[in-house]
Amino acid sequence: MNLGSGGGGADALARAMTDASLAERLALASRSIAGRLVFTTSFGLEDQAVTHAIFRAGLDIHIEVVTLDTGRLFPETYDLWAQPEERYGRRINAVSPDRSDLEALVARQGINGFRQSVEARKACCDVRKVEPLGRALVGAAGWITGLRAEQSSFRAAVPLASQDDGYGLIKVNPLADWSQQDLVRYVTDNAVPYNPLHDRGYPSIGCAPCTRAVRLGEPERAGRWWWEQEAKKECGLHLVPTHQIQEHSHDQRA
């Protein structure tokens, strides 16, 4: 199976991935998508599992592993970054914000101006994450992520693979149907290194100023941009098709 960039090709890949293991799903993607594949890791538990599967199977000859270094990550995240590089003898390439854009943002907002409004926060995410992601995906035919449907109501419709019209490529989410229990079991069984913040109540980890530990009973992503009232905790990297947003809109109300 060799897929073009059409939605039908993505649907076929998703069907083929359904009963496969994580390593098999990644291998299917690497064989099926003609062109450059990019996996973007933010070093969360999901991303660590995918990184392990890619490196252990030697799939990094087909899949480039990159991270968006926002400049405001937790010290624990930077320490974790080094661990898979040392364990597997591979490099995880960094894509950083454009210097001029970042300097202009800080001059306009102040260093922590993202707390002034949702619009200000999204402007910060655009400079530190969205624009660098666009550069990381230039020329790519496939984008691999660590998204899981269980992470939030906004992500509940995440498929194993789909056509991403915004970036003009096939987006592959090999953990889309995994539960938290599935994920923890995989990480434990394979002794995958993970961020110690997960053991301190941080199920979802982003930039340090924008992430807190969650409280008992809170959703997994409640600790992201916790000062905001809206329920959709997203930075703009992952855009869901309009019809999927409408189908799940009743779950997204504050």
203 vs 140, 189, 210, 218, CA distance in Å? 29, 19, 13, 11
Tell me if residue 125 is catalytic.
no
Distances (CA, A) of 171 to 69, 73, 201, 222, 249: 21, 25, 29, 25, 22
Structure-derived torsion over alpha carbons of residues 54, 55, 60, 65, reported in degrees to the nearest 10: 80
Annotated catalytic residue: which of 124, 125, 210, 235?
A: 235
* Cβ partners under 8 Å of residue 222, min gap 6: 214, 215, 233
- What is the rounded CA–CA span in Å between residue 79 and residue 87? 13
End-to-end CA distance of the chain: 43
Q: Which residue has the tokens 């995906």?
A: 137
Nearest to 192 by CA among 18, 49, 94, 44: 49
Catalytic sites, residue numbers = 235
